[in-house]
Amino acid sequence: MSFAAVDQYLAEHTAQFEADLCELLRIPSVSADSAFKADVRRAGEWVANQFRQLKFATQLHETPGHPIVTAQSPFVPGAPTVLVYGHYDVQPPDPLGEWITPPFEPTIRGGNLYARGATDDKGQMLTHVKSAEAWVRSGTPLPVNLKYLIEGEEEVGSENLEAFIEQHKKELAADVVVISDTCQFGPGQPAITYGLRGIAYFELRLRGPKQDLHSGTFGGAVTNPANTLAKLVAALKDDQGRIQVPGFYDDVVPLTDRERQEFARLKFQEAEFMKQLGVSALTGEAGYTTLERRWARPTCDVNGLTSGYQGEGAKTVLPAKASAKFSFRLVPNQDPHQIAVSLEQMLRKLCPPGIELELIAFHGAPGVVVPLESPHVSAAARAIEHGFGVAPVYIREGGSIPVVGTFRKLLGIDTLLLGWGLDDDNTHSPNEKFCLADYHRGIKASARLWQEIGSRS
Residues 374-403 that bind a second copy (CB under 8 A): 397-400
429 is a site residue for a second copy (CB under 8 A): no
Query: How far apart are alpha carbons 142 and 397 in whole angstroms?
Result: 32
Q: How many residues does the chain have?
A: 457
Residue 316 CB, nearest distance to a second copy (Å)? 6
Stretch that binds a second copy, among 110-118, 161-169, 313-321, 383-391 (CB under 8 A): 313-321
- Cβ-based nearer residue to a second copy, 63 or 327: 327
- Cβ-based nearer residue to a second copy, 121 or 175: 121
Query: How far apart are alpha carbons 365 and 351 in whole angstroms?
Result: 27
Cβ-proximal residues to 368 (8 Å cutoff; 6+ apart), any chain = 195, 196, 198, 332, 404, 405, 408, 414, 415
324 is a site residue for a second copy (CB under 8 A): yes
Residue 350: how many CA atoms within 13 Å on its side-chain side? 21
Please, which of residues 331-360 interact with a second copy by CB under 8 A?
352-354, 356
Query: How far apart are alpha carbons 396 and 99 in whole angstroms?
Result: 32
Residue 255 CB, nearest distance to a second copy (Å)? 13
280 is a site residue for a second copy (CB under 8 A): yes
C-alpha to C-alpha distances, 171 to 147, 307, 376, nearest whole angstrom: 9, 50, 21
301 is a site residue for a second copy (CB under 8 A): yes
- Cβ-based nearer residue to a second copy, 210 or 267: 210
- Cβ-based nearer residue to a second copy, 124 or 323: 323
Check if 335 is active-site: no
Max Cα-Cα span within the chain: 87
Please, which of residues 179-218 interact with a second copy by CB under 8 A?
197, 199, 201, 203, 208-211, 213-218
C-alpha to C-alpha distances, 351 to 117, 226, 303, 320, nearest whole angstrom: 48, 12, 21, 15
Check if 89 is active-site: yes
* Contact string (CB under 8 A) for a second copy, positions 40-59, x = contact: --------------------
237 is a site residue for a second copy (CB under 8 A): yes
Query: How far apart are alpha carbons 321 and 227 in whole angstroms?
Result: 10
- Cβ-based nearer residue to a second copy, 53 or 240: 240
SS3 category, 324: strand
Find, among 203, 205, 208, 204, the residue nearest to 355 by Cα: 208
Stretch that binds a second copy, among 63-71, 233-241, 334-342, 429-437 (CB under 8 A): 233-241
- Cβ-based nearer residue to a second copy, 157 or 412: 157
Find, among 341, 305, 334, the residue nearest to 226 by Cα: 305
| Helix (H), strand (E) at residue 58 | strand 57-61
Catalytic residue among 120, 154, 259, 425: 154
Query: How far apart are alpha carbons 255 and 247 in whole angstroms?
Result: 18
SS3 category, 183: strand
Among 226, 340, 380, 447, binds a second copy (CB under 8 A): 226
260 is a site residue for a second copy (CB under 8 A): no
428 is a site residue for a second copy (CB under 8 A): no
- Residues designated catalytic: 89, 154
